[in-house]
Chain A
C-alpha cells in the first residue's frame, strides 16, 4: 500500500440555493425542472482529494482519484464536474429518475467498488443536503471494518507505507478534536475543510475525454432493496412572521408581551 487510490463518492442534489417544494401528491419533493448540482460537501471531498495529489501531502503519492455516483442518468453531469476539478475517471451506478438508493445500499455499492478498485482512502461529504441523513461514510467504514474520521476540518499525513498515519481534525460539539488513523480509512468532509475550486473551461473540455464506467447494482452483486417506505412528505407548518416594531423600546415591549423576557 504505497500510493493512494482515492475513491470520492458524489451525489447530484437539488441546488442548495433553491427552495424545495413538496409535490401535490405529498409523496416527495418536486425535482422536475429544478436546478441540480453537486452536493456541496462532495465538492469539498473532490477538492481535498485533488489537493492531496497536488500538494504531495502523502509521501507515497496519489495513483488514482475515482469519482463515484449512484443516481439517474443526469448524475453523469456531476461526475463530469468532478473530473473537471481533477478526478481521473468516473464510475456511475445508474438508477431510474425519481428513484433513490438509501445510504445503506450506497454504502454496500461503495464497499464493492472499494474491493474491485483496491481503494485505500474514501473521502465523502458528511451529509447530502437533500436527505440530510449523514450516514453513508460511517456505514461504509463499518462494512469495511476501516477506521473513520467524520466531519473533517483538516487532513494531514505522516509517514509512508506501513507506518503511514492520517491525522484528522474533526468538528465536534463544542470545538474540534484530532484523531490519528491508519490507512485504509474513510473520511467525511465538513464545510471548513477547504474552498473548492471552479473548474476552468480547458479542464471542462479535458474532462469530456475522461472515462465514465457504467455498472449496475447487480453487476456489483449488491442488493439495494429499500428498508424505509416514505409514507408522506409535507411542508413544515409556516411561521407567522412579519411583526415589525419601530424601535428598541417597541422590541422590548413586544418580547415582554410574548413572554420571552
Chain B
C-alpha cells in the first residue's frame, strides 16, 4: 500500500511540475528527474549476464532518476552480483527461480508486473531482442500501458524517438501513460560500464504464476565469430553468392580475415545459403558496426533498414545500378567471386 500511495504522490507532483506551455525550465527538469525511477530489465543465459542487455542501464541514465536492475532465473546470485557492479545501478532485484530461466513471457510478465507495482517504477526498459519483444508487450497490456518499441533516442521522460516504416521515417512520440514500457534498439544505446557500481541486492516478489506453455528445446547456431548484433565489423552476403557452398567458401574466410561477424540478406537466408538468425534487415537483426562490408546484396529497403546506421558501408556488386551503391561509402563494381577472394588474400597480408 505504501508504494501505491508513494506512486500517486509522485505522479501528482510530476503533473504539477509539468509546465503548461513553452520550453521546460531546466530547474523543474532536474526536479522531475529525482522522481523518476527506472527498472532496467537484464537478460541472462545459462547463468551468464548478457552484456548487450546493459544498454538498458545506459538508456535509464539518459532518463535521469534512480536505476534499479532486474534479473530472474535459477541460481541467479552470481549474475545479480555482476549486475550490482554495473556503473549507475543503485539496486538490483534478483528473483532466484529456475522457472524464469527461459524467460517465458507467460510467467515472466506477471513476475515483472508484480515487481513494477511493488517498486513504483515509472519507466521499464528492456532490449528489443527476442526476449524483450516477446515479454514487454505482455507486461504493457497487463499494466494497461501503450508500449514504445525499439527506441533510438530519449528526448525527455515522456518523449521518445523511434524508426518506423523500415527506418524510412523517424517518429517522435509522447507518451501519456503513467508507467512507460520501452524497448530499446541495442545499437543506439551502448552497454553501460560493467565496473564501477556498487548496488545493493534486494529480494523481489515472486508470484509464482503458472504457465500453460513449456519450453522444449533450442537449436542455436554455434560460432566462434563475434555476435552479429554487437560486432564492430560485419561481412554480409546476398543472393549473388548462388549457393550455401559458395557462401561458406567466399564469405567465411573474409569474415575471419577481418575478425568480423557474418550476416546475410533475406534472399540468402530464404535460399538456405545462411542461417535464419543471420538475417540483417527490418525483420531480422539491426546492426550498426564500424564496418559493414557486403557482397552480392542489391540493397532493398528492408535490408537497408537493418544496416544503414553502420559507420562505413562497403559494397561489392556486379550491377552498377544496384541501390546499395547509393548508400555505400566505398563501392566496387565487379564479380564477387573474383573480388572477395582477392580482398581476403590482400587483407591477410
Chain A contacts to B: CB under 8 angstroms: 14, 16-17, 19-20, 22, 29, 41, 102-104, 107, 126-127, 129-143, 146-151, 153, 167, 170-182, 185, 190-192, 226-236, 239-252, 254-255, 258, 260-261
Bound Cα distance A246, B277 (Å): 33
Is the beta-carbon distance between B212 and A147 smaller than 8 angstroms?
yes
Bound Cα distance A29, B220 (Å): 38
**Does B159 belong to the interface (CB within 8 Å)?**
yes
Bound Cα distance A234, B325 (Å): 23
Chain B residue total in the interface (Cβ 8 A): 89
Is the beta-carbon distance between B212 and A230 smaller than 8 angstroms?
no
- The one of A126, A136, A251 that contacts B332, using a Cβ cutoff of 8 Å: A251
**Does B231 belong to the interface (CB within 8 Å)?**
no
| Residues of the B chain whose Cβ atoms lie less than 8 Å from the Cβ of A182 | 212-213
**Does B51 belong to the interface (CB within 8 Å)?**
no
User: Among B17-25, B86-94, B160-168, which stretch is in contact with chain A?
Assistant: B160-168
Bound Cα distance A135, B138 (Å): 8
Bound Cα distance A129, B164 (Å): 8
Identify which of residues 135-155 in chain B touch chain A, using a CB-to-CB cut-off of 8 Å: 135-142, 144-150
Give the most central of B106, B137, B266: most A CB within 10 Å.
B137
Is the beta-carbon distance between B137 and A147 smaller than 8 angstroms?
no
Is the beta-carbon distance between B332 and A248 smaller than 8 angstroms?
yes
Question: Looking across the interface, which residue of chain B has its beta carbon closest to that of A195?
Answer: B270
Q: How far is the CB of B259 from chain A (nearest CB, A)?
A: 11
- Given contacts A139-B138, A147-B106, A175-B275, is CB(A239)–CB(B327) below 8 Å? yes
Beyond the given pairs A138-B136, A179-B214, 13 more chain A to chain B contacts, judged by CB atoms under 8 angstroms and listed by A's residue number, are A132-B282, A133-B149, A138-B134, A173-B129, A175-B219, A176-B218, A176-B276, A177-B102, A180-B213, A227-B177, A228-B175, A230-B173, A255-B291
- Given contacts A147-B106, A227-B146, is CB(A107)–CB(B141) below 8 Å? yes
**Does B302 belong to the interface (CB within 8 Å)?**
yes
Bound Cα distance A141, B216 (Å): 20
Is the beta-carbon distance between B216 and A260 smaller than 8 angstroms?
no
- Given contacts A138-B105, A234-B170, A255-B312, is CB(A147)–CB(B176) below 8 Å? no
| Residues of the B chain whose Cβ atoms lie less than 8 Å from the Cβ of A174 | 220-221, 277
Is the beta-carbon distance between B138 and A142 smaller than 8 angstroms?
yes
Is the beta-carbon distance between A127 and B283 smaller than 8 angstroms?
yes
Is the beta-carbon distance between B327 and A148 smaller than 8 angstroms?
no
Is the beta-carbon distance between B333 and A260 smaller than 8 angstroms?
no
- Give the interface SS of chain B, mostly helix, strand, loop or mixed: mixed
Is the beta-carbon distance between B325 and A241 smaller than 8 angstroms?
yes
Is the beta-carbon distance between A178 and B212 smaller than 8 angstroms?
no
Is the beta-carbon distance between B142 and A233 smaller than 8 angstroms?
no
Q: How far is the CB of B108 from chain A (nearest CB, A)?
A: 11
Is the beta-carbon distance between B148 and A172 smaller than 8 angstroms?
no
User: Among B33-41, B66-74, B191-199, B339-347, which stretch is in contact with chain A?
Assistant: B339-347
Is the beta-carbon distance between A243 and B174 smaller than 8 angstroms?
no
Give the most central of B129, B141, B173, B326: most A CB within 10 Å.
B141
Bound Cα distance A126, B229 (Å): 20
Question: Looking across the interface, which residue of chain B has its beta carbon closest to that of A244?
Answer: B331
| Residues of the B chain whose Cβ atoms lie less than 8 Å from the Cβ of A130 | 164-165
Q: How far is the CB of B166 from chain A (nearest CB, A)?
A: 6
- The one of B133, B139, B171, B332 that contacts A245, using a Cβ cutoff of 8 Å: B332
Is the beta-carbon distance between A142 and B109 smaller than 8 angstroms?
yes
Q: How far is the CB of B211 from chain A (nearest CB, A)?
A: 7
Is the beta-carbon distance between B141 and A138 smaller than 8 angstroms?
yes
Is the beta-carbon distance between B291 and A142 smaller than 8 angstroms?
no
Is the beta-carbon distance between B169 and A234 smaller than 8 angstroms?
yes
Bound Cα distance A175, B164 (Å): 26
Question: Looking across the interface, which residue of chain A has its beta carbon closest to that of B330?
Answer: A254
Is the beta-carbon distance between B213 and A181 smaller than 8 angstroms?
yes
| Residues of the B chain whose Cβ atoms lie less than 8 Å from the Cβ of A227 | 145-146, 175-177
Question: Looking across the interface, which residue of chain B has its beta carbon closest to that of A231?
Answer: B172
- The one of B106, B316, B330 that contacts A258, using a Cβ cutoff of 8 Å: B330
Q: How far is the CB of A20 from chain B (nearest CB, A)?
A: 4
Bound Cα distance A150, B104 (Å): 11
Q: How far is the CB of B201 from chain A (nearest CB, A)?
A: 27
Is the beta-carbon distance between B133 and A134 smaller than 8 angstroms?
yes
- Given contacts A138-B105, A177-B219, A244-B332, is CB(A129)–CB(B213) below 8 Å? no
Identify which of residues 256-276 in chain B touch chain A, using a CB-to-CB cut-off of 8 Å: 258, 266, 269-270, 275-276
Is the beta-carbon distance between B328 and A247 smaller than 8 angstroms?
no
Chain B window 273-291, contacts with chain A (Cβ cutoff 8 Å), 1 for yes, 0 for no: 0011100001101000011
Is the beta-carbon distance between A258 and B163 smaller than 8 angstroms?
no
Q: How far is the CB of A38 from chain B (nearest CB, A)?
A: 16
| Residues of the A chain whose Cβ atoms lie less than 8 Å from the Cβ of B134 | 138, 148, 150-151
Is the beta-carbon distance between B313 and A235 smaller than 8 angstroms?
no
| Residues of the B chain whose Cβ atoms lie less than 8 Å from the Cβ of A181 | 212-214
Is the beta-carbon distance between A233 and B166 smaller than 8 angstroms?
no
- Given contacts A252-B346, A255-B291, is CB(A29)–CB(B302) below 8 Å? no
- Given contacts A192-B276, A245-B330, A248-B342, is CB(A104)–CB(B138) below 8 Å? no
| Residues of the A chain whose Cβ atoms lie less than 8 Å from the Cβ of B329 | 239-241, 243, 254, 258
Bound Cα distance A55, B140 (Å): 36
A-B contact pairs, 10 of them (CB 8 A): A134-B133, A134-B150, A147-B213, A149-B213, A175-B276, A178-B217, A181-B214, A233-B170, A234-B170, A252-B346
Is the beta-carbon distance between A104 and B215 smaller than 8 angstroms?
no
**Does B314 belong to the interface (CB within 8 Å)?**
yes
Is the beta-carbon distance between B215 and A177 smaller than 8 angstroms?
yes
Is the beta-carbon distance between B214 and A104 smaller than 8 angstroms?
no
| Residues of the B chain whose Cβ atoms lie less than 8 Å from the Cβ of A139 | 137-138, 140-141, 147
